[in-house]
């Protein structure tokens, strides 16, 4: 944890291999988002790799949507509501990211780019949610979130088409 960021990984799927390279890419995506947002506090994030059935179950349970999705974000700090990371904790637990590798692979093929680029995009997207951004609150917020995603990925050398 030399950079003050802990990432906890869990795998709850067998559809695609979870490689060291994939975990490193996810870590780079988390760090790039935190750097872009000038978030310098020690923090932790959990990332769970699942398949379409696993994410469908979560989507149904937490969002009342009975269909698979690509990524779900479960923030633990309400930055929009004025929450700040607790100063008496060694690190702020920002929240949980659940990523369907099966859906990420399908979307990468559909959009004509690499699986790695799609996984990085979904991680950046989810990290922005953990940091308080939400694209469902209106067109302005959607535009702002898309701009941030694009700039973060471009900074990683993974431009958005």
Residue-wise pLDDT for 23-39, tens only, equals: 999 999 999 999 999 99
Confidence band for 2, pLDDT divided at 50, 70 and 90: low
3-state helix, strand, coil in the chain (%, to 5): 45, 20, 35
Q: Could you tell me the two tokens for 58? A: 């979560």
What's the pTM value of the predicted model, to 2 decimals?
0.91
pLDDT for 148: 95
Residue whose pair of structure tokens reads 């929240």 in the numeric block: 95
Instruction: List, for residues 88-134, the tens digit of each pLDDT value.
Output: 666 789 999 999 999 999 999 999 999 999 999 999 999 999 998 88
In the predicted structure, residue 78 carries a pLDDT above the cut 90: no
Domain ranges of the chain: 5-155
Which has the higher per-residue pLDDT, 161 or 98? 98
Residue closest to 49 by CA, chosen among 106, 110, 112, 119:
119
In the predicted structure, residue 1 carries a pLDDT above the cut 60: no
Q: Which fold has domain 5-155?
A: Collagenase (Catalytic Domain) (3.40.390)
Which has the higher per-residue pLDDT, 95 or 137? 95
Contact of 33 with 71, CB cutoff 8 Å: no
In the predicted structure, residue 147 carries a pLDDT above the cut 90: yes
Q: If DSSP codes are grouped into helix, strand and coil, which group holds residue 15? A: coil
Mean pLDDT of the chain: 90
Residue closest to 155 by CA, chosen among 46, 34, 47:
34
> What average pLDDT does range 70-87 have in this prediction?
76
């Amino acid at each position: 944890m030399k950079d003050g960021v802990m990432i906890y990984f869990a795998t709850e799927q067998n559809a695609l291999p979870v490689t060291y390279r994939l975990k490193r890419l996810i870590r780079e995506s988390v760090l790039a988002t935190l750097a872009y947002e000038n978030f310098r506090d020690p923090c932790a994030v959990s990332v769970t790799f699942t398949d379409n059935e696993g994410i469908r179950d979560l989507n149904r349970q937490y969002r009342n949507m009975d269909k698979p999705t690509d990524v779900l974000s479960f923030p633990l700090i309400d930055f929009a509501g004025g929450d700040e990371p607790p100063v008496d904790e060694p690190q702020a637990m920002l929240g949980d990211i659940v990523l369907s590798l099966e859906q990420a692979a399908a979307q990468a093929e559909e959009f004509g780019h690499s699986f790695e680029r799609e996984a990085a995009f979904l991680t950046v997207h989810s990290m922005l949610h953990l940091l308080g951004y939400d694209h469902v609150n209106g067109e302005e917020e959607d535009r702002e979130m898309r701009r941030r995603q694009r700039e973060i990925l471009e900074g990683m050398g993974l431009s958005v088409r």
